[in-house]
Amino acid sequence: MNKAVVIFSGGQDSTTCLVQALTQYDEVHAITYDYGQRHRQEIEVAKCLAKQLGVKAHKVMDVTLLNELAVSSLTRDDIPVSHELAENGLPNSFVPGRNILFLTLAGIYAYQVGAKTLITGVCETDFSGYPDCRDEFVKTMNSALAQGMDYPLQVNTPLMWLNKAETWAMADSYNALELVRDHTLTCYNGIVGSGCGDCPACDLRAKGLTDYQQNATQVMAAYQEKKTKI
């Protein structure tokens, strides 16, 4: 049986990846992490979406230790999410080590359920400046996991070279644009759908949707062309 595990936050990107995976694999598992994040409602959103979409299993994993170690505006309520970069050149919403931990634990879970594919919605083309969303990082982690477990795990990143408008096109190509638009949570302030309209995540999401709606034919064509190369 062809199985996949999707790292699933209940946001736009991971939901789009999950929708696609459900058309490509016989059995799809979703894994969501509780790391004491600022926008904790995403866990409930992920639970609802996983049930609605019919995944084989949805595991919510307690990794609140990360909250103790990683200081970020996404792990501390008293640190406002900023549009400006911090002194280290990164957004203050960057959670150091988050994707290292997420990929490692999801890889172990994939090993246990016999899934050879691990899917994550990270993106280098239209991202927030996080170093752990880069293609080089994912490939390095993939190699480490496969070697460390002696297991032919493949980490897939369907969104890696898509911009946000093309990610909306991808959702639309699976007839899931309304689902993603109205029922996912991308907002750093925990508001479902269009969000608060002010945080960096909402800005990126809204600009991408507007671009897609205004140039749907061209954006869809660009997505379809990239899809054949991914």
| CA dist 99 → 96, 102, 103, 137, 138 (Å) | 8, 5, 6, 9, 9
Instruction: Please tell me whether 123 is known to bind a ligand.
Output: no
Name every residue whose Cβ is closer than 8 Å to that of residue 105 and which is 6 or more positions away in sequence.
31, 33, 61, 63
Instruction: Please tell me whether 41 is known to bind a ligand.
Output: no
Instruction: Please tell me whether 10 is known to bind a ligand.
Output: yes
3-class secondary-structure state, position 180: helix
Domain that holds residue 55: 3-228
CATH number assigned to the domain comprising residue 107: 3.40.50.620
Instruction: Please tell me whether 154 is known to bind a ligand.
Output: no
- What's the distance, Cα to Cα, between the start and end of the chain in Å? 23
Name every residue whose Cβ is closer than 8 Å to that of residue 140 and which is 6 or more positions away in sequence.
none
Task: Give CA–CA dist 15/49, Å, rounded.
Answer: 8
As a dihedral over the C-alpha atoms of residue 229, residue 58, residue 203, residue 187, rounded to 10 degrees, the angle is -170
Q: How many domains does the chain have?
A: 1
Instruction: Please tell me whether 103 is known to bind a ligand.
Output: no
Order of strands across the sheet that contains 3-7: 57-62, 27-34, 3-7, 117-119, 154-156
Instruction: Please tell me whether 93 is known to bind a ligand.
Output: no
Model pLDDT, residue 73: 56
- pLDDT tens per residue, range 54-110: 999 999 999 887 777 655 555 556 555 555 555 666 665 666 778 998 999 999 999
Model pLDDT, residue 177: 98
Instruction: Please tell me whether 11 is known to bind a ligand.
Output: yes
CB of 115 closer than 8 Å to CB of 158: no
Across 110-128, average pLDDT: 90
Tokens read off for 195: 């969000």
Task: Give CA–CA dist 230/58, Å, rounded.
Answer: 26
Instruction: Please tell me whether 48 is known to bind a ligand.
Output: no
191 pLDDT exceeds 80?
yes
Instruction: Please tell me whether 73 is known to bind a ligand.
Output: no
Confidence band, pLDDT 50/70/90 cuts, at residue 166: very high
Instruction: Please tell me whether 14 is known to bind a ligand.
Output: yes
Share of the chain above pLDDT 90, in %: 69
